[in-house]
Amino acid sequence: MRVHFLTFAFVLLITPGAHAQVPAMTPNQALGREILAELIGINTTREHGSTTPAAEAVARRLVAAGFPAADVQVVGPTEKDKNLVARLRGTGKRRPILLLAHLDVVEALRSDWSMDPFTLTEQNGYFYGRGTSDIKDMAAIFVATLIRLKREGVALDRDLILALESGEETDGGGIRWLLAERRDLIDAEYCINGDAGDPLLQNGRPVVRSVQASEKVYHDVQLEVHNPGGHSSLPVPDNAIYRLAAALQRLAAFHFPPSLNPVTRAYFERVAETQPPDIAADMRALLRDVPDSAAVERLSQRSPLFNSILRTTCVATRLDAGHANNALPQTARAVVNCRMLPQDPVERVEAMLRSVVADTAVAVIPIDTPTPSPPSPITPEVFGPLERITHQLWPGVPIIPSMETGATDGLFLRNAGMPVYGVSAVFMEADDIRAHGRDERIGVREYYAGLEFTYRFVKALVTR
């Protein structure tokens, strides 16, 4: 996934820290680079590749590093779509934690790119290649972290599980298969997902680390009108297209009521500290026991992102009606795509849609069954080390818990009762997000800093 979703500028009210200083390549960095190069070199697209060779390459590396073969599994729904699941054992004093990234990538054509997308190319301070930012960088960093912890003989008080999944870019098949068939391999107290949460640079300077602790819930609904129709030379007042259009007009004018959950509450508290005084005041006003409704409306109008964080949204995305140019329409349909706040039950959202449509001739029909995805608690066990280690490497950079307005694989784990924290380690320029596009890249310096960050952060989570 990895789509940049912070569509507004952060105004820096803090003194930015300098870039983490990265000296000449250390052995750990050399290892991190080697693993990244190996993963980029394996085509893991659904169209022309397979995740299985990439999972096997990682398995070989871990076994060579001393992991027992039984703790390194290559398993999955099909021969082409295998996942890698590995376990670094601890004392078992606490429940395991799960590190998650995906091995599959979106198609990339050599003819579209300036270089071979399936060869890691280092050029002018960047690593280029399909998957460098989505999300083989984090897959490689997690593998290097496991090997480093093993090599250093760090005493873990809990097992550390790594899952590198298949199918994330298509159907979520890898993680769904693991949950259904091999929950034993990945069962953990919580998950750190490398494929969510955006640490962002502006003009080369780190400005924010957002941590995805919640996501909205996807739901499609169809509005449908039927009518006897007839010859278009003899129009009658009751017309399927007009009825549907009128219902859509009412929907266009409607806003779901604003609602906060613990994650979005923390989000606005923290973001307020980075904003100009008027926006900050509005954010604080919406955090009051009785939210200031004028402030809510100003923020909603200021940014589609704020609006989407504050409420469930349902928007018309497709329209289909009529069967001939010279006939009155017998059917008119619209697809309405809802992104529901995790605290808004689907029954309530559908009931509100029906009351907004306000016409029993317009049927409101669910197209899919949404997967609930409860927000993950903002626990000090995760956020304590996260803040401390972020500030060691990037002093002054704010850590902002966030609710993703799209949807990620995290929802399957959240729905299965496992909290998920999206913590990507590699800072990226806010205006240079190339995931799924041509000449995908990450900064070399940012990659090595992310490698060191992840090692320190994960180590803090598995030791006491």
Q: How far is the CB of 377 from Zn ion (least distance, A)?
A: 24
Q: Which stretch binds Zn ion (CB under 5 A): 2-10, 177-185, 298-306, 390-398?
A: 2-10
**In angstroms, rounded to a whole number, what is the distance separating the alpha carbons of residues 32 and 38?**
10
Minimum CB distance to Zn ion, residue 102 (Å): 6
H helix intervals, 372-443? 380-393, 410-415
Q: What is the closest distance, in whole angstroms, from the C-beta atom of residue 2 to Zn ion in the complex?
A: 4
* Closest CB to Zn ion among residues 4, 205: 4
- Residue owning tokens 């494929």: 195
The stretch among 1-9, 181-189, 313-321, 395-403 that binds Zn ion (CB under 5 A) is: 1-9
Considering the complex, state which of residue 135 and residue 349 has its C-beta at the smaller distance from Zn ion.
135
The alpha carbon dihedral of 337, 339, 342, 344 has a sign of negative
Specify the amino acid at residue 197: G
Find the part of the chain contacting Zn ion (CB under 5 A) among 7-15, 130-138, 202-210, 224-232: 130-138
Interface segment toward Zn ion; rule CB under 5 A; list 31-39, 57-65, 150-158, 193-201: 193-201
Closest CA to 14 of 394, 283, 446, 424: 394
Please check whether residue 457 is in contact with residue 386, taking contact to mean a CB–CB distance below 8 angstroms.
yes
Q: Dig out the tokens for 138 from the structure.
A: 């984090």
- Residue 2 as a binder of Zn ion (CB under 5 A): the answer is yes
- Min. distance of Cβ 92 from Zn ion in angstroms? 31
Q: With respect to Zn ion, which residue has the nearer C-beta, 175 or 334?
A: 175
* Binding test (CB under 5 A) with Zn ion, winner from 38, 81, 137, 195: 195
Q: Which of 45/300 has CB closer to Zn ion?
A: 45
By CB under 5 A, how many residues form the interface with Zn ion?
Answer: 5
CB of 364 to Zn ion, least distance (A): 33
If phi > 0 it is left, if psi is from -120 to 50 it is alpha, else beta; for residue 141 that is alpha
Which residues 35-74 are close enough to bind Zn ion by CB under 5 A?
none
Q: Which is nearer to Zn ion, 137 or 195 (CB)?
A: 195
Which residue, 135 or 260, is less far from Zn ion as judged by CB? 135
Minimum gap (Å) between residue 135 Cβ and Zn ion? 4
**String of contacts with Zn ion for each residue 86-125, x by CB under 5 A:** ----------------------------------------
Question: 3-state SS string over 396-408?
Answer: CCCEEEEEECCCC
Q: Return the closest-CA partner of residue 203 out of 444, 428, 7, 434.
A: 428
The DSSP secondary-structure symbol of 112 reads: G
Local structure of 343: helix, strand or coil: coil
Give the per-residue contact string, 137-176, with Zn ion (x = CB under 5 A; - = no): ----------------------------------------
Q: Minimum distance from CB of 105 to Zn ion (Å)? A: 8
Closer Cβ to Zn ion, 159 or 168, answer by number: 168
Dist. CA 132–CA 434, nearest whole Å: 10
Q: Which is nearer to Zn ion, 278 or 432 (CB)?
A: 432
CA distance 201 to 222: 40
Question: In whole angstroms, how close is the CB of 164 to Zn ion at the nearest point?
Answer: 12
Q: How far is the CB of 152 from Zn ion (least distance, A)?
A: 29
Closest separation between CB of residue 34 and Zn ion, Å?
Answer: 22
Considering only CA atoms, which of 7, 9, 4 is closest in space to residue 305?
A: 7
Residue (195 or 350) nearer to Zn ion, CB: 195
User: Which of 104, 134, 224, 440 is the binder for Zn ion (CB under 5 A)?
Assistant: 134
Q: Which of 36, 42, 135, 309 binds Zn ion (CB under 5 A)?
A: 135
Q: Are 140 and 32 in contact (CB under 8 A)?
A: yes
Residue 138 CB, shortest distance to Zn ion, in Å, is: 9
DSSP H or E run through 213:
strand 205-215
3-class SS of residue 334: strand
CA distances from 171 to 1, 9, 81, 166, 412 (A): 12, 32, 11, 9, 12
| CB neighbour class for 150 (10 Å; exposed up to 12, middle 13-18, buried from 19) | middle
Residues that bind Zn ion (CB under 5 A): 1-2, 134-135, 195
